[in-house]
Amino acid sequence: MMIKNICCMGAGYVGGPTMAVIADHCPNIQVTVVDLNQQRIDAWNDSDLSRLPVYEPGLDFVVDRARGRNLHFSTDVDSAIAAADIVFISVNTPTKVKGLGAGQASDLRWVEACSRQVANAAQGHTIVVEKSTLPVRTAETIRTILEASQAPLQEGEVPKSFAVLSNPEFLAEGTAIRDLECPDRVLIGGEDDDSINALADVYMHWVEPAKILRTNLWSSELSKLTANAFLAQRISSINSVAALCESTGADVQEVARAIGTDSRIGPKFLQSGPGFGGSCFQKDILNLVYLCRHFGLPEVASYWESVVELNTWQQHRISRLIVQRLFGTVTGKRVAILGFAFKADTNDTREAPAIRIALDLLEEGAQLAIHDPKVEQAQIARDLREAPVELDPATGKSQGLSGVGSWLSANSVEEAVEGADAVVLLTEWSQYKSLDWQDLSRRMRRPAWVFDSRTIVDPDQVRSAGLRLWCVGNGSL
Ligand code: UDX
Ligand code: ADP
């Protein structure tokens, strides 16, 4: 089976970068990324590469090389499906907010809509690949919809046929291009060897064959959820130890180094912080929890649920301790928030720890000045469900009601910090690692605090600038 045309439904954080890398490495394959969102497609087609809808280091170069040659972005979904040998489904699958499984199960309405559209528009044999993170056995739903579409053939019509594969994405945002270029493994789950081989051939343009793992469909789907659950579990584990370090005078960085050098444990994903964010970890664990309850395994469900609970607790713990250190009240106080994205090198704020921490501080009446090098003000307003406060043109001060929390977006770190009682570092952007604390300290109201949830500041520099410092997991400060 020779693959000549690929269609990807969904031009988001997964679909966009993944298809750009495939097109870059497979010049003989035409790759069309489709989306219902015209604005998003326009942004992917923008001649100014700094305006691509996804910020990801190196993505602009890859798009620049392939776009217009064999990489296309379009809203003409049906034509792209009709031409495709492979259709990747890479649409959003957020956690359901109401109805059966609310708060845990994924909302599959977009996946279902895609399956129906593929069933209608496909021609000949089409391999349908699940790329979005999905609950186990979603492939079965997709297959059922595709098979049900087999209407009686008209005279001369070529019969449609489908194969469904699971090919989960393991890329992490911020390092997506590197993860796609040099993956630890590519996982393909399915029942039909010809289709698996056809997809493997696409990856073999740049991935060595030994790294392409083949499993059955359900193992592939479950592996994705399990990989994310294990990674998230490590973060909750180290964050639980961080709290203990702060109480006992230990330093979580030292503990992480000490345990990470044990080759059985390994050093990765032991960085204590404000808790994990991102579109996958929480969603995938909650899917796992839902699945366990569904299959009558409540103890297993509770085990995994505690990973998410610890994460939420860590975020509230940080906002609580900020309030406590600021003499028990932040009402009317300016607090600079540095970093809103859920991690560095992305403009994504989905499940960002900054959201929960900022909401807690707003509830306490703080005046937040938020700075992030890549997140737009409109996105912060959506996440906080509140518009930024207007500044009084005469005084340059906010006109918020006294005692009520408010926020504004600052164009620079200096602007955010001006007049602040505290700086809270929430994202590990590299520019925050080399701040001039002497200068920032002069701009703040004393006594002033620095809360470093990412362990990126130099404690000596902060303290010699006359600032008080809290650093996650460091009980010796
Ligand atoms: C994750 C998985 O890593 C990836 O394989 C999967 O495909 C999607 O989900 P992503 O969410 O993009 O990727 O980022 P990741 O680097 O895993 O970080 C997730 C969260 O954990 C971030 O908020 C990050 O700051 C936090 N984190 C990560 C820590 O707090 N400590 C660590 O040691 C590592
Ligand atoms: P991810 O992080 O998984 O890539 P995103 O939310 O960034 O998720 O992207 C998913 C994209 O899928 C969105 O741009 C959305 O408009 C698109 N989408 C949703 N349903 C469909 C559909 N039926 N056909 C094409 N695109 C779709």
> pTM for the complete prediction?
0.93
Task: Give the mean model confidence (pLDDT) for residues 467-475.
Answer: 97
For residue range 140-184, list pLDDT tens digits in order: 889 999 988 777 777 777 789 999 999 999 999 999 999 999 999
The verdict on the CB of residue 457 being under 6 Å from ligand 1 is no
Q: Ligand 1: distance of its center to the CA of 108 in Å?
A: 23
DSSP 108-162: -HHHHHHHHHHHHH--SEEEEEE-S---TTHHHHHHHHHHHT-PPPPTTPPPPEE
Q: Ligand 2: distance of its center to the CA of 369 in Å?
A: 31
Is there a contact between 129 and 87 (Cβ–Cβ < 8 Å)? yes
The verdict on the CB of residue 169 being under 6 Å from ligand 1 is yes
Helix axes 298-325, 217-248, angle to 10 degrees: 40
pLDDT of residue 137: 80
Is there a contact between 186 and 207 (Cβ–Cβ < 8 Å)? yes
> What percentage of the chain carries pLDDT values higher than 90?
87
Q: What is the DSSP letter of 73?
A: E
Is there a contact between 389 and 407 (Cβ–Cβ < 8 Å)? yes
What is the average pLDDT value for the chain, to the nearest integer? 94
pLDDT band at 401 (very low <50, low <70, confident <90, very high): low
Task: Give the mean model confidence (pLDDT) for residues 308-314.
Answer: 98
- Of 133, 231, 315, 429, which is best to mutate to test ligand 1, by the most ligand atoms within 8 angstroms of its C-beta? 231
Q: Which among 62, 66, 59 has a CA at the least distance from the CA of 28? A: 66
Cis preceding-peptide flag for 447 (omega within 30 of 0) = yes
Res 399 pLDDT > 70: no
Is there a contact between 130 and 90 (Cβ–Cβ < 8 Å)? no
Amino acid in the structure at residue 130: E
Q: Which among 265, 270, 266, 269 has a CA at the least distance from the CA of 253? A: 270
Res 367 pLDDT > 90: yes
The verdict on the CB of residue 346 being under 6 Å from ligand 1 is no
Res 394 pLDDT > 80: no
The verdict on the CB of residue 235 being under 6 Å from ligand 1 is yes
Res 420 pLDDT > 70: yes
Is there a contact between 11 and 35 (Cβ–Cβ < 8 Å)? yes
| CA–CA distance, 259 with 267 (Å, rounded to integer) | 8
| CA–CA distance, 460 with 477 (Å, rounded to integer) | 10
What secondary structure, in 3-state letters, does 346-360 show? CCCCCCCHHHHHHHH
pLDDT of residue 203: 98
**Tokens matching residue 28:** 């003989």
pLDDT of residue 396: 61
Atom of ligand 2 nearest to the CA of 132: 3
pLDDT of residue 1: 82
Give φ, ψ of 96 to 5 degrees: -65, 140
Residues near 74 by Cβ (< 8 Å), separated by ≥ 6?
A: 32, 33, 34, 41, 80
Res 398 pLDDT > 70: no
> What percentage of the chain carries pLDDT values higher than 70?
97
- Of 92, 132, 134, 138, which is best to mutate to test ligand 2, by the most ligand atoms within 8 angstroms of its C-beta? 92
Nearest CA to ligand 1 atom 25: 343
Q: Ligand nearest 342 Cα, by number?
A: 1
| CA–CA distance, 229 with 237 (Å, rounded to integer) | 12
Q: What is the DSSP letter of 389?
A: P
Res 400 pLDDT > 70: no
Q: Ligand 1: distance of its center to the CA of 276 in Å?
A: 7
pLDDT of residue 476: 86
The verdict on the CB of residue 231 being under 6 Å from ligand 1 is yes
Q: Ligand 2: distance of its center to the CA of 449 in Å?
A: 41
pLDDT band at 397 (very low <50, low <70, confident <90, very high): low
DSSP 149-173: T-PPPPTTPPPPEEEEEE------T
pLDDT of residue 428: 98
The verdict on the CB of residue 252 being under 6 Å from ligand 1 is no
For residue range 207-246, list pLDDT tens digits in order: 999 999 999 999 999 999 999 999 999 999 999 999 999 9
Q: Ligand 1: distance of its center to the CA of 116 in Å?
A: 32
Amino acid in the structure at residue 253: Q
**Tokens matching residue 405:** 């929390």
Is there a contact between 352 and 342 (Cβ–Cβ < 8 Å)? yes
Torsion of the alpha carbons at 219, 223, 226 and 227, rounded to the nearest 10: 170
Q: CB within 6 Å of ligand 2 — which residues?
A: 9-15, 34-37, 40, 77, 90-92, 110, 113-114, 117, 132, 279
pLDDT of residue 155: 76
For residue range 28-40, list pLDDT tens digits in order: 999 999 999 999 9
The verdict on the CB of residue 173 being under 6 Å from ligand 1 is yes
Is there a contact between 165 and 129 (Cβ–Cβ < 8 Å)? yes
Nearest CA to ligand 1 atom 7: 170
For residue range 182-197, list pLDDT tens digits in order: 999 999 999 999 999 9
In 208-268, which residue ranges form alpha helices assigned H by DSSP? Answer: 217-248, 252-260
Nearest CA to ligand 1 atom 17: 172
453 SS3 class: coil
The verdict on the CB of residue 178 being under 6 Å from ligand 1 is no
**Tokens matching residue 159:** 């019969």
pLDDT band at 266 (very low <50, low <70, confident <90, very high): very high
The domains located in the chain, with CATH, are 5-215 (3.40.50.720), 310-471 (3.40.50.720)
Task: Give the mean model confidence (pLDDT) for residues 304-333.
Answer: 98
179 SS3 class: helix
Active site residues: 169, 224, 280
Task: Give the mean model confidence (pLDDT) for residues 4-23.
Answer: 97
**Tokens matching residue 469:** 């410092």
pLDDT band at 135 (very low <50, low <70, confident <90, very high): confident
First to last CA, the chain: 63
| CA–CA distance, 474 with 306 (Å, rounded to integer) | 24
- Residue found by looking up tokens 């699971």 in the block: 166
| CA–CA distance, 222 with 133 (Å, rounded to integer) | 10
For residue range 30-81, list pLDDT tens digits in order: 999 999 999 999 999 999 999 999 999 999 999 999 999 999 999 999 999 9
